[in-house]
Structure 1
């Protein structure tokens, strides 16, 4: 800017000089022309002009004046340069200040952005904290409720990693009324149904009991790759002088079940103790605790039901929760019937010096009963197929006067069985059929008919038996369930030694089957007159319902009523009644009630 002012002053000075010089030249030229004109006119008056010196002086004065002006302009330019410099410095300082302000503003903006991000993050954190707090509070409340429930209403007892549960236990008040008296408790002895002309058939009986009430204790623990289970189940239906080994090894306090189990995660399961026989139908695979029992009140269940409850050691394998195979070695007990020569013994009453019941028979078992079974669950229903092998032996004495020549007689029996159960009508109906056919397997039918008989020489002969049960169950509502069962146990004739020995002999005296027994000399009445036929079959139709008044967290309260019609037939003999089947029979109509409270 200072340079521009200097150039401008120089140009101004040069212009002034040039103007002065041009004026002087013009004046000189004018003077010359004026002289010429005066000469031509000769008489014109000559005007007096300023002198050159005066003009030069005048120019000097003007120059001096212009120099003064130039100096003034220079001073002004200098002042302006100073002011401009100050303005530039101020502008520079202002720019620096602006830059600093901009930087500070940028920093402030960054800080504000950071603060906004921090505030947003803090808000998110607070929101997450609130959400987590709400979740934690909800979890704590649930845990508190769970702990409170576990303390006030425990589902199980936890002891050193083991869960102990009483689920399945119940208290029962049961009654039974029979049109023909059997002299039983609430469980019915099917092969002792009174014949229609006996004195007992002329009497009815009523009995009430709480002895079927049940206590269950189940302990479950997990160890490595296995689930360990211990199970105990008992009731009060045993008696010290009548407990026996025939079908259920139920000694006082009645040992219904008492077993231990190791279930490996690879599908293998090992179980040992007193349990339901592997022949008993199950609802899932071959698992203990899933047995399908008839839904009846009678603790003897119903005719045709195939089962035992005894000692066993069982091994099973699960293949993809679709197929199961298993095998078991179980306790055995031989039940004789028909002719019984005295030159042999199959077993004896319990040793009075031991722990056995000395009023019951214990057979001399050659080996345990063996059961093999396969179960299928393809997606609709449950299907089973099984086989049983039994090993019998007795001691035979050919001579009535000496033990010389005595020998052990043994034989093998067994049978094959199977069954199925399928759901219908969206699982509101269930249909099932189960059966067992074979030689020497009568013990496994619910009526406990005979397994074997004897030849005249004392050797054993196995009886052909058949048991079957059909079931229809309905659940029209969640509270109500209905059941209908029809089944029976059958044992065939076995005529030996020309009909002189065996089972169901035609020579059996049946002449008194139509006559009520008369008192003997001591006025003790007998069941009937001469009616010596052997049992042919027992058939039963049973129906009833269970209704749950309450089923919830506090357990279950249910009530049931059952009606049963039972018919027992004998093989015909000589002089018997003219029945269609040629033998005597007995029938019974039974009404039962039950009120049960189950622990949750």
Structure 2
């Protein structure tokens, strides 16, 4: 309420207070009426009080009018204010709705932006995926094409078939003729008593070409399979069981294998001997054998090997350790024996009905020993960061049948008598170590030492001699090889080997019934029993055929065979899908030294010795 209104109300209250006493003194109604009439007639004059009252009334009326006007205005303003408030409320509601809508639109816009970003990401991912898919499809197509056109193995049902081998074009030159292919009979290098020692030979051959196939079948418990390998270096009716058990077409390897997931492996068939060094582990596998990198198919003097039947149980434990035991084919090789008695035998020529060779081209018989038991070999190997190491032992059993009642004689006796079987054991140990020198070279050391283990040396010096009473005696032998193989370039290997094999002199004294006081020296390389004076005397041919070089009498029992080799291999091209083509060349110097004998007169010592220079070349293509 305004101050003006308050003043007006206060004035009305004062007037009311004045008005009330004046009415109490007013004359009777009749008097008032009379006065009015008089006034009609003539208005009396107003008194000052009346004037004041009238003015106040007028003012009150005016004020009331103003108040009413103010009320009306206030009401109008209140209405306008209410309308404004309603409009404001509506505006706020509209604004809130607009805000909500804006937020919704903003959220929708953000959602749309997110959806667009996600869509863009999806499109990008799809592009990348499509690119990757295209690359995958391209790679898969390429891989499938390669597998179809250049498969690493053939699949037949559940079997994986992997072919292997190589085709070889090879030559050999020897300064002293051996009439041999690329396979060198080291212990046959001629002394100077034969015409062949004065002629060289050059031979060219592809017979070392090799074909192989590996069969592998995975199983729930491991894997099984087998391997077959052949070449053409057999010699027909002269094949035997003495070292490589090879018959034409020459069966190099033919074995079956079952490997269990727990580390046990069984292998059986014709394979490399357990005594032969392998590159890693202990099990037989294609190419697992660590051979000298020679072209010579007889490898190198001092190298330990056999390729024969075996049954091998192997176990791998702690990842790097391996143990194995094997039983292997046995043969007895009689070393050249002086004054051997005639009262014994330990084998015979092969029986053609049993598919063994009986004769060699109608002349020399191919002999097979009557084995009492197989050879037994055990080996432990370890693969460490410092190299590959092997150590093992060989147990051998030699049996012959001799006739003690006949007594010592070098003359064949046909008297009926009863024979007795005699068995003697032999054996020895072997060790192989190969140490890498960074990645550019490897150094290897190989040792074989034993009694009656000469057959396991590559020179095949012999296992036993015979005593005067007809029983067998194993001969002490040693073999060793040092190898250095370098890899100066990815395509190039340069290597060198030095090895030797030794056979101990073993001699016995005997007496004949005809000369009971004159000693006869029996055994391997007796100095008194040999006359080696003619070992350096060449004699003329023995026939007019042109194929009969002469040779004088020379015992020349081998004491040691030594060989040194240097060579290289250069891989001209190598591809995992197309194979490898390479060229190799080696040079070897071979020495064969005999035990000291006597000259013809028996008075001066003679030391027969033979040497040979050999150069090999090889051009090979390997199947991938």
Q: Is TM > 0.5 for Structure 1 vs Structure 2? A: yes
| 1:423 equivalent in structure 2 | 436
Displacement of 1:586 in angstroms is 2.1
| 2:86 equivalent in structure 1 | 89
Question: Does the 8 Å contact 2:240/2:367 carry over to 1?
Answer: yes
| 2:582 equivalent in structure 1 | 558
| 1:349 equivalent in structure 2 | 349
Displacement of 1:199 in angstroms is 1.1
Instruction: Write the mapping of 1:330-369 to structure 2, written as runs, cut at 5 A.
Output: 330-337=328-335, 338-339=337-338, 340-359=340-359, 360-369=366-375
| 2:181 equivalent in structure 1 | 185
Moved more, 522-531 or 238-247: 522-531
Displacement of 1:22 in angstroms is 12
Between the aligned partners of 1:520 and 1:279, the Cα distance in structure 2 is 43
Between the aligned partners of 2:110 and 2:349, the Cα distance in structure 1 is 99
Give CA-to-partner distance per residue, 1:448-502, whole Å, 9 cap, x none: 1111122233221222212111222222222221222221222122212434322
Residue 409, structure 1, aligned to residue 407, structure 2 = no
| 1:319 equivalent in structure 2 | 317
Displacement of 1:57 in angstroms is 4.5
Question: Does the 8 Å contact 1:513/1:577 carry over to 2?
Answer: no
Residue 544, structure 1, aligned to residue 567, structure 2 = yes
Between the aligned partners of 2:14 and 2:586, the Cα distance in structure 1 is 150
CA 510–64 in structure 1, closer or farther in 2 if over 3 Å, else same:
closer
Between the aligned partners of 2:599 and 2:496, the Cα distance in structure 1 is 37
Between the aligned partners of 1:22 and 1:457, the Cα distance in structure 2 is 180
Give CA-to-partner distance per residue, 1:207-263, whole Å, 9 cap, x none: 101111112222334323424342222111113212211101112221111222223
Displacement of 1:544 in angstroms is 1.2
CA 325–73 in structure 1, closer or farther in 2 if over 3 Å, else same:
same
Displacement of 1:525 in angstroms is 3.9
Question: Does the 8 Å contact 2:152/2:162 carry over to 1?
Answer: yes
Displacement of 1:350 in angstroms is 1.7
Instruction: Write the mapping of 1:221-232 to structure 2, written as runs, cut at 5 A.
Output: 221-232=217-228
| 1:194 equivalent in structure 2 | 190
Between the aligned partners of 2:549 and 2:106, the Cα distance in structure 1 is 116
| 1:78 equivalent in structure 2 | 75
Q: What's the secondary structure of 2:180's corresponding residue?
A: coil
Residue 109, structure 1, aligned to residue 115, structure 2 = no
Q: What's the secondary structure of 1:147's corresponding residue?
A: helix
Between the aligned partners of 1:326 and 1:429, the Cα distance in structure 2 is 29
| 1:393 equivalent in structure 2 | 399
Residue 516, structure 1, aligned to residue 538, structure 2 = yes
Question: Does the 8 Å contact 2:402/2:420 carry over to 1?
Answer: yes
| 1:477 equivalent in structure 2 | 489
Q: What's the secondary structure of 2:536's corresponding residue?
A: coil
CA 580–489 in structure 1, closer or farther in 2 if over 3 Å, else same:
farther
Displacement of 1:308 in angstroms is 0.5
Residue 253, structure 1, aligned to residue 249, structure 2 = yes
| 1:329 equivalent in structure 2 | 327
Question: Does the 8 Å contact 1:327/1:371 carry over to 2?
Answer: yes
Question: Does the 8 Å contact 1:285/1:321 carry over to 2?
Answer: no
Question: Does the 8 Å contact 2:477/2:501 carry over to 1?
Answer: yes
| 1:30 equivalent in structure 2 | none
CA 522–110 in structure 1, closer or farther in 2 if over 3 Å, else same:
closer
Between the aligned partners of 2:618 and 2:601, the Cα distance in structure 1 is 38
CA 93–401 in structure 1, closer or farther in 2 if over 3 Å, else same:
same
CA 64–323 in structure 1, closer or farther in 2 if over 3 Å, else same:
closer
| 2:599 equivalent in structure 1 | 575
Q: Which runs of 5+ in 2 are unaligned?
A: 20-44, 360-365, 407-412, 511-519
Displacement of 1:156 in angstroms is 2.3
Displacement of 1:534 in angstroms is 2.5
Question: Does the 8 Å contact 2:402/2:470 carry over to 1?
Answer: yes
| 1:38 equivalent in structure 2 | none
Between the aligned partners of 2:603 and 2:536, the Cα distance in structure 1 is 11
Q: What's the secondary structure of 1:531's corresponding residue?
A: coil
Moved more, 510-519 or 411-420: 510-519
Residue 271, structure 1, aligned to residue 271, structure 2 = no
Residue 496, structure 1, aligned to residue 542, structure 2 = no
Q: What's the secondary structure of 2:151's corresponding residue?
A: coil
Question: Does the 8 Å contact 2:598/2:605 carry over to 1?
Answer: no
Question: Does the 8 Å contact 1:157/1:165 carry over to 2?
Answer: yes
CA 578–76 in structure 1, closer or farther in 2 if over 3 Å, else same:
farther
Displacement of 1:434 in angstroms is 1.2
Between the aligned partners of 1:461 and 1:450, the Cα distance in structure 2 is 11
TM-score, normalising length: structure 1: 0.87
User: How many residues of Structure 1 are paired with residues of Structure 2 in the alignment?
Assistant: 570
Between the aligned partners of 1:178 and 1:579, the Cα distance in structure 2 is 35
Q: What's the secondary structure of 2:399's corresponding residue?
A: strand
| 1:296 equivalent in structure 2 | 294
Residue 144, structure 1, aligned to residue 146, structure 2 = no
Moved more, 275-284 or 59-68: 59-68
Displacement of 1:588 in angstroms is 1.6
Between the aligned partners of 2:215 and 2:446, the Cα distance in structure 1 is 31
| 1:434 equivalent in structure 2 | 446
CA 318–579 in structure 1, closer or farther in 2 if over 3 Å, else same:
farther
TM-score, normalising length: structure 2: 0.84
Question: Does the 8 Å contact 2:5/2:63 carry over to 1?
Answer: no
Instruction: Write the mapping of 1:28-67 to structure 2, written as runs, cut at 5 A.
Output: 50=47, 53=50, 56-67=53-64
Q: Which runs of 5+ in 1 are unaligned?
A: 25-47
Between the aligned partners of 1:228 and 1:580, the Cα distance in structure 2 is 64
Q: How much is the aligned-residue C-alpha RMSD, in angstroms?
A: 3.0
Between the aligned partners of 2:314 and 2:497, the Cα distance in structure 1 is 30
Instruction: Write the mapping of 1:119-158 to structure 2, written as runs, cut at 5 A.
Output: 119-158=116-155
Q: What's the secondary structure of 2:254's corresponding residue?
A: strand
CA 50–329 in structure 1, closer or farther in 2 if over 3 Å, else same:
same
Between the aligned partners of 1:521 and 1:101, the Cα distance in structure 2 is 129
| 2:513 equivalent in structure 1 | none
Give CA-to-partner distance per residue, 1:35-93, whole Å, 9 cap, x none: xxxxxxxxxxxxx9756555544544444444444333333333333333333333332
CA 466–581 in structure 1, closer or farther in 2 if over 3 Å, else same:
farther
CA 66–429 in structure 1, closer or farther in 2 if over 3 Å, else same:
closer
Between the aligned partners of 2:321 and 2:159, the Cα distance in structure 1 is 30
Between the aligned partners of 2:534 and 2:325, the Cα distance in structure 1 is 48
Give CA-to-partner distance per residue, 1:496-525, whole Å, 9 cap, x none: 243432221332233432322334477774
